[in-house]
Amino acid sequence: MATELKSLSVFSTENLPDISKRRFAIVVAEWNADVTEALFEGAYQTLLQYGAVADNIVRGNVPGSFELSLGASWFAQRDDIDAVIALGCVIQGETKHNDYINHAVAQGLTNVGLQTGKPVIFGVLTPNTQQQALERAGGIHGNKGDEAAMTAIKMLGLQQQVY
């Protein structure tokens, strides 16, 4: 519970929309699975905690974070999906490989959101070390999966307000 509160403390949890009929897709990268599974658990539990129904949450795995954009795009194009949460962990390596992946997935997910008009959430950790990643996946710095889920909820609230 303490990590949950810490993780979500950047957000106000007042005036959240009713998400009991909203449908979510969570796309999870398999690279650094110990981290991304923890991000998934955080995102999934946060959606349930704030009113989503388990049957309305679907999960899809992709091999690595680079594939998150296409996975997110496939889900976002479905009429029965309201929001997509993309979860990955790209750890800095000895080459610039990580930079290319990070930029590609950030741009890719942005494009999917703009093209579909649906919230597509960037839940990708970009740490220097695995230790830093674990600290942000249920450790001392909370769980960025929780934050990603809350971001999706808040964007659905704004969408409802606008339309």
For the bound state, the minimum distance from the C-beta of residue 62 to ligand DLZ, rounded and expressed in Å, comes to 7
Give 29 or 109: the residue with its C-beta nearer to ligand DLZ.
Answer: 29
Out of 48, 53, 58, 91, name the contact with ligand DLZ by CB under 6 A: 91
65 makes contact with ligand DLZ (CB under 6 A): yes
Q: Which helix (H) or strand (E) holds 147?
A: helix 144-162
Our answer to whether residue 141 is catalytic in this structure is no
Residue with tokens 């650094």, as numbered in its chain: 32
Region of 51 on the Ramachandran plot (φ > 0 left; ψ -120 to 50 alpha; else beta): left
Which lies closer to ligand DLZ via its Cβ, residue 18 or residue 99?
Answer: 99
Does residue 90 bind ligand DLZ (CB under 6 A)? yes
- Could you tell me which residues come within 8 angstroms of residue 89 by beta carbon, excluding any fewer than 6 positions away? 29, 31, 32, 35, 36, 39, 65, 124, 125, 127, 133, 137
Q: Please give the residue ranges that form the binding site for ligand DLZ (CB under 6 A).
A: 29, 31-32, 63-67, 88-91, 93, 97-98, 101
